[in-house]
Amino acid sequence: MSESVVTRFAPSPTGYLHVGGARTAIFNWLFTRRHGGKFLLRIEDTDTKRNTPTATAQVISDLRWLGIDWDEGPEVGGPNGPYMQSERREIYEKYIRQLIEEGTAYYCFETAEELAAMREEASAQKKNLKYSRPEVFPSKKEMEKAKADGRGVTVRFAVPDEPIVVQDVVRGEVSFAAGEIGDFIIQKSDGFPTYNFACIVDDELMGVTHVCRGQEHLMNTPGQQGLQDALGFRRPVYVHMSVTVSEGGGKLSKRERPEALRKAIKSRADIDVENLADAGGISIEQVEMFLKGESSPDMPVVNAMAQSIGLHLPEINVVDFFNSGYLPETMVNFLALLGWNPGDGREIMTVEELIECFDFGRLTKTNSLFDRKKLLSFNTERIRMLGEEKLVERFREYLKAVKSPVLSADDVLFKRIIKSCEGARTLEDIERKSRFLFLEDEQIEYDEKAVKKVLLKGDSLTVLALVREKLASMEEFSGEGIEQMLRNLAEERGVGLGKVAQPLRVALCGTTVSLSIFGSVQMLGRERVLSRIDRTLKEFKTGNQA
């Protein structure tokens, strides 16, 4: 390229990092790394009413987990800071004053009620609201009087009455007729700039050469180009990515998780609202407002309430996929292929391979499907491909985050557990299968379905008692010896191995899912195995005929 590439990822901290936002970051980062340019992280936190206190820290944490590093931005610094828009108000004010002085922007004093009335009138006429520009722009003195009278003062950009053409890498030439774009607000009544204004100032001052973002921002571009022309700014290369849709056909939305929780709560009569409030750390009134659709709590609150009722919410944010046991290598690989392809049929690719061939010119116009089954397949393959040491490292990160008792295992046991889980789809699968090893005997909870389907069926408890007797009398408690004993017992009784192994598995784990039963017995140890069998026989001895 003739110039040094500079791209940016500029999330708003109004929530956690959505996979759609992560895809934007990945596309910009891959393109920049391929061309040896600079990748910037900028936090667009001017929407003070919607900002979430924990969001910025979580966005940074999620990007680092994905392996996305930045050359300028929070925690890194750089010559073009600050990188939080809330700390750049003096910079924006300078350019706002320039536009007002040059007559290309003007003050407005309408109240929220007056604007609402305008919208209603436009709606009644089946038109979009288009602000009526005054013939004479209000003066600074009139602006100060309006403020003194308690009216909110905003600043609007006077959009030139001429056609605007946007050149886009993905969509080609997109034309907007004269008058199609109405005068829009560039400074809110709280003094903060709007997105459309702040981003073009920052892109200019930070030297951004390529703006790759979601298709929904295409409609913002003509107004932004008008501002660039009015201020004498350069025009970056625009790249508007296609939309990613869910299996249901709709756009992946941050609202899916709270909506799923709300729906589940309303459908279940056994849920106690007071317990929900306690789990989420909010008041009963806040829970009731949430159920009415009048508010939506922060995501940690939503997650805590869902966990308290045993509800698995759909993964939407990057941290959700982390907590469900996906690998960062999987997420980067999968998200990079949503609306882009290398052109040679490859799918499972390393980061280095992605960087080597990534180019905006291969982005597609059509929507891409967020195929969760395919993602799971990718993750299964990635777990298989990842080296043992790296997999142990990833597993430890995951266990620490979900506060699993499995974290207490040493490296030798970790490797043994992982080896026993060959073919695992997620780190969550490995944790779930091995968790029983690290619980006290009395902490084992019996799954109701497993009890009915296995323990209380036929002569399962009698078989379990025989297994206990043979395990207690074994001289050497080895994996091979345990396997041979269980197979011999199954043969003696003329049944399949499952008829012998599954009652033992439920007794040890509480469920029908665990590590290999032979390894499970050996790793748990004779004393704890016999203790859990005894507890199970005592608990369900009257259910043998059920």
Distance CA 224, CA 217 (A): 10
Query: Torsion angle, CA of 343/346/348/354, rounded to 10 degrees?
Result: -40
Specify the DSSP class assigned to residue 72: B
Residues with Cβ within 8 Å of 432's Cβ and at least 6 positions away in sequence, in order, are 513
Could you give the CA distance from residue 219 to residue 277 in angstroms, rounded to a whole number? 41
Contact between 286 and 277 (Cβ < 8 Å): yes
Half-sphere exposure of 472 (CA within 13 A, CB side): 11
Place of tokens 């089954």: 373
Q: What is the dihedral of CA 105, 111, 115, 120, to 10 degrees?
A: -170
Measured distance CA(32)–CA(36) in Å, rounded: 6
**Dist CA 5 CA 318 (whole Å):** 27
Q: Which residues form the catalytic set?
A: 254
Distance CA 202, CA 219 (A): 19
Residue with tokens 């882009």: 340
Question: In this structure, are strands 368-369 and 210-214 parallel, antiparallel, or unpaired?
Answer: unpaired
The answer to whether 471 and 485 are in contact (CB under 8 A) is yes
Residue with tokens 């007794």: 507
In contact, 59 and 317? CB cutoff 8 Å: no
What is the β-pairing status of strands 154-157 and 184-187?
A: antiparallel
Helix locations, 232-326, DSSP H:
256-267, 273-280, 284-291, 299-308, 318-323
What contacts 539, CB < 8 A, 6 or more positions away? 446
What CA–CA distances, in Å, run from 249 to 245, 368, 377? Answer: 6, 10, 21
Burial of 112 (0-12, 13-18, 19+ CB in 10 A): exposed
Angle between helices 427-434 and 411-420 in degrees, nearest 10? 110
Q: Which two tokens stand for residue 27?
A: 């596309």
Query: With contact defined as beta carbons under 8 Å apart, do 231 and 175 qualify?
Result: no
**How far apart are alpha carbons 204 and 198 in whole angstroms?**
10
Neighbours of 247 (CB within 10 A): 10
